[in-house]
Structure 1
Amino acid sequence: MKLPEGDLKPILAGVDLTIRAGETHAIMGPNGSGKSTLAYAIAGHPRYEVTGGTLTLDGADVLAMTVDERARAGLFLAMQHPVEVPGVSVANFLRTAKTAVDGEAPKLRTWVGELRGAMERLQMDPTFAQRNLNEGFSGGEKKRHEIVQLEVLRPKIAILDETDSGLDIDALRVVSKGINRVRDNGDTGLLLITHFTRILQYVKPEFVHVFVGGKIVEEGGSELATKLEDEGYERYLAGAGPAKA
């Protein structure tokens, strides 16, 4: 993985990872280790070029897909810093996204109730549906809306890039319950990217991967996250490559 021509820099040094439906994986690592780069590369961000390896979803070559094709195939990315989109309402954005992913528009009589229910479960005022996408939203409201998207789009693989950042304890609990609802349906595989273990107290991963220098350097179960909380990343950093995502 590298940046486009003119500013070439290797970031990911090789990642071998398999996520199945219903599984929850956590990637933990220090700042600049390449975690967000991995997320954006999977999603198809044009800033990054994949120079080797494969990426498949249900046997299909994801790297040959455009960004919108990846979304329709079942990939979802909850961004660390959701952007504001003036002039596009939350309701219109979500219905358009749902239509694109499903290949047909949801029936209006059921869609209104589905959207309202998802927003209420995330403790978002239903009037937010008529507001411009993320415009004027607090950090916590933006993150709640990301999980509303997750609930209504129901992807096959969901990558949550530091969804816990900027959340107070009450918002973290609400967002975690939303993530667990999606995970518990058994159809979605989750990849949680985080620095800290606090979200992992509410969303329990079966697999934890330590990410340093653009690669996975250790793997284990949820107990590995507890070990990282106690010991930090220092012992992994000696000799680690310069990822800097």
Structure 2
Amino acid sequence: MSVLEIRDLHASVQVSEDELKPILHGVDLTIRSGETHAIMGPNGSGKSTTAYAIAGHPKYKITSGSVTLDGEDVLSMSVDARARAGLFLAMQYPVEVPGVSVANFLRTAKTAIDGEAPKLRTWVKELRTSMEKLGMDPAFAERNVNEGFSGGEKKRHEIVQLELLKPKMAILDETDSGLDIDALREVSQGINRVKDAGSTGLVVITHYTRILRYVQPDFVHVFVAGRIVEEGGKELAEDLEASGYERFVNKVGA
């Protein structure tokens, strides 16, 4: 079993060359293999900052606190070392990579993480199967990464990566945004296949409960003003759907 531990994490975002804006004010989270954690909260509450700070985005600066994966200091690792250690981030806005095909990108990533190239025949079959299950035409494997992809196709491709790379810990940053009903269902089914395998800890960042109707969380954490202000089970997400975030925002404001 793997464990990602976040302790008293404080982080800021670089808003200009000379200015850092504090966003996180002491976040504590523990995620274990096989668990699904939902992070919810209003805009600007620190949800995505938590994801990108853990992943090592240079725009986000850790000012204090710690992040460890199986006891190893994540914050001392380079971005690629974090990926090799087992961290995965599905981005809210996946970037285009002109000149690099999906097939080459994924096989190169798999080789870098595992330390050896997957057998080609087996890999091609796994890639095709994953894409078909997610409603992607396997012909997309020969296209440049995310170039000309719709929003839904980009999000499907993120989950193809998740399925094939098999990380220890996966942070899914608003994977449900921009998805129609069919795409949401197919993406959720892909996440659930990873969840059911039991070897990956999942963090699902979302504003809404619609993805949580498909991907059942074990724990729900409410972020407001850079802090976790409430925690509970899946019933907390249902409560938020009914009553919103206002009472938590008022509580922090008080």
- What's the TM-score bracket when you normalise by the shorter of the two chains? over 0.9
Residue 179 of structure 1 is aligned with which of 187, 191, 199?
191
Map of 1:52-63 to 2, 5 A cutoff?
52-63=64-75
Deviations 1:62-92 (A, max 9, x none): 0010000000000000000101111110001
Q: Tell me which residue corresponds to 1:125.
A: 137
Q: 1:214 to 1:6 in 2, by over 3 A?
A: same
Q: 1:58 to 1:97 in 2, by over 3 A?
A: same
Aligned AA (1:91): A
The structural deviation recorded for 1:238 is: 2.2
Identity of aligned residues (%): 77
Structure 1 position 15 matched with structure 2 position 27? yes
The structural deviation recorded for 1:48 is: 1.3
**Mapped partners of 2:235, 2:66: distance in 1:** 30
**Mapped partners of 2:251, 2:206: distance in 1:** 22
Q: Tell me which residue corresponds to 1:65.
A: 77
2:23 is paired with a residue whose SS is coil
Q: Tell me which residue corresponds to 2:12.
A: 2
Aligned AA (2:112): A
Query: Structure with the greater relative contact order (CA < 8 A, sep ≥ 6): 1 or 2?
Result: 1
Query: CA RMSD, aligned part only?
Result: 1.0
Q: Tell me which residue corresponds to 2:3.
A: none
Map of 1:93-108 to 2, 5 A cutoff?
93-108=105-120
Map of 1:130-145 to 2, 5 A cutoff?
130-145=142-157
Residue 86 of structure 2 is aligned with which of 58, 70, 74?
74
Q: Tell me which residue corresponds to 1:91.
A: 103
Structure 2 length normalisation: TM-score? Answer: 0.93
2:65 is paired with a residue whose SS is coil
Deviations 1:147-195 (A, max 9, x none): 0000000000000000000001111000000000001111000000000
Higher strand share: 2
The structural deviation recorded for 1:240 is: 3.9
Structure 1: state its 5+ residue gaps.
none
The structural deviation recorded for 1:239 is: 6.0
1:200 is paired with a residue whose SS is helix
Aligned AA (2:207): H
2:25 is paired with a residue whose SS is coil
Paired residue total: 241
**Mapped partners of 1:109, 1:132: distance in 2:** 21
Aligned AA (2:244): G
Structure 1 length normalisation: TM-score? Answer: 0.96
Aligned AA (1:122): L
State the 4+ residue runs in structure 1 displaced beyond 4 angstroms: none
**Mapped partners of 1:100, 1:45: distance in 2:** 19
